[in-house]
Amino acid sequence: MGSISVRLRDLVSLTIGTLLLVHLNACSGDGPPGYEPPKQAEEIGKASLWLTTGDRSKLLNQETDIPITKLDDSSLPAITLSLEDKKQHIEGFGAALTGSAAYLIQQKMNPSQRHALLQELFDPGVGIGLSYLRMTIGSSDFSLSDYTYNDLPHGQTDYNLERFSIEKDREDVIPVFREIINIAPNLKIMGSPWSPPAWMKTNNNLRGGKLKPEAYEVYAEYFVKYIEAFQAEGITVDAVTVQNEPLHFTAGYPCMEMNSEEQNVFIRDFLGPKFKSKGISTDIILYDHNWDNTHFAISILNDPETREYVSGSAFHGYAGHVDATGIVHSSHPDKGLYFTEISGGEWATNFSDNLQWNMSNIFIGTTRNWSKNVLMWNLALDQDFGPKNNGCQNCRGVVTINNNNGQVTRNVEYYSLGHFSKFVRPGAWRVGSNTSGNMDGIEHVAFSDQSGKKVVVISNNNNEAKELKVKADGGQLIYNLPAKSVITLVWN
């Protein structure tokens, strides 16, 4: 009887306890009186995120998608996009397929290595999707030799250009361009001369000197024949600059002096009219030298006749400050700005420092200052920083190709380019954006396109992580940027 009484007592206690618990839950909900569970932000989309860190633990890695939620009133530092504020159209991102780069790709890689590299460089689905290349019209400081398309024995001339020939470029440049165009048929190409043929120059030499006044007409025709010859090879030249670095003319490689007054006359009275009469649609771009001189471009654009032939001005980043292009834009906002050359090199080997410098000065810096493209210098060099042609002795390519086995090393320039070229496709435009809160050490630029895709590139140059939000279209996303990092955010 005793054991039965204990079991009955336990059963009664359990029943009473259960009833009491049900009563309390019915009266009070799932928590104590007044308790409300935290509200979860309503997710309205997701953004893809790609990350590179200065310590190289992440190299253009795709990370977990970031939720996009409805705007809240949290006080994080913020980047706010103004999607209706459309700035310049973007024409592309890339580098220069110099003679040296073409030689390495064509001669020092086997066909499978070459195809794999070019797919990685130019197919945005497979790799970083470069969309713009610069080529040298004849040789440069990164060619296997000095040459133009009309070289003659000393003392001879050819004012009818009967001996014009691009045969030298059939060895490496043309085959590599063709293979690239098969991968990226909409590739944009810009041509830049380092020197006219020697017989057209005052010193009869590819190095130094000026263009003879009596050769202005034939040199304009030389540009036409160059464009037509490459077009016949299936290679469309979309733009030309008149002279690479016209204020640097004492080098040990092909070069020529051409001041702003001379360039103005050449474009206004010869090159522009020649293109027009021959039906050449290739853009003419002036200057093509450093940020430290804005007068050169502005003075030519001030000529009402010349400016009708000119699409814009090109700049290099070896001297001066990136806001120079913004100054030129302010003077002539209807004309394009182009960034056409900068090289990394062994004078700066710290990956993290180079990544941040590239973002601040070259990629974020130039696009925020109205540049329609961003081009690095050599697409590829070898492990000895060549082949060289009496120019820079320790320049670095976007990639390094080992000339013994064809193996590829991707340099900081590759990842810097990739954060833009893979995502910001030709035809997109930069959009307005502003910041609020403490954004010290943070830089950014934003883009959009006709499909509604948004792209924001943000760099964090601080030694610690930085949490911030990006706001657009009534939504927001929040991310904690690692120290010394770059991210690209993409969403529709």
183, 123 contact by CB (below 8 A): yes
Tokens standing for 130?
């470069």
If you count them, how many residues does the chain have?
492
CA 56 to chain centre: 20
List the alpha helices (DSSP H) in 233-362: 260-266, 272-278, 295-301, 323-331, 351-357
**What six digits make up the tokens of 58?**
């992440």
In this structure, are residues 94 and 376 in contact, taking their beta carbons and an 8 Å threshold? yes
Residues 6+ apart with CB under 8 A from 269: 216
Instruction: Give the helix, strand, coil percentages of the chain, each rounded to 5.
Output: 30, 30, 40
The span from the CA of 355 to the CA of 414, in Å, is 10
Compute, in degrees rounded to 10, the torsion defined by CA atoms 297, 298, 299, 302.
120
> Phi and psi (nearest 5°) for 360?
-65, -45
Measured CA to CA, the distance from residue 130 to residue 375 in angstroms comes to 10
Burial string for 24-35 (b: 16+ CB within 10 Å, else e) reads eeeeeeeeeeee
Distance CA 269, CA 262 (A): 11
- Both tokens of 292, joined, read 């430290």
Pick the closest to residue 473 from 70, 120, 61, 25 (CA basis).
Answer: 70
CA distance linking residue 489 with residue 466, whole number of Å:
16
Cβ proximity of 97 and 397 under 8 Å: no
Q: Are 237 and 188 in contact (CB under 8 A)?
A: no
What residue type is 197 in one-letter code? P
Q: 53 near 351, Cβ under 8 Å?
A: no
The answer to whether residues 379 and 135 touch, using CB atoms and an 8 Å cutoff, is no
DSSP assignment, residue 184? Answer: -
Upstream peptide bond of 254 is cis (omega within 30 degrees of 0):
no
Residue 462 dihedral angles phi and psi, to the nearest 5°? -85, 160
Beta strands in 12-76 (DSSP E): 43-53, 61-70
Catalytic residues: 245, 341
Residue 439: which residues within 8 A CB-CB, separation 6 or more?
77, 79, 468
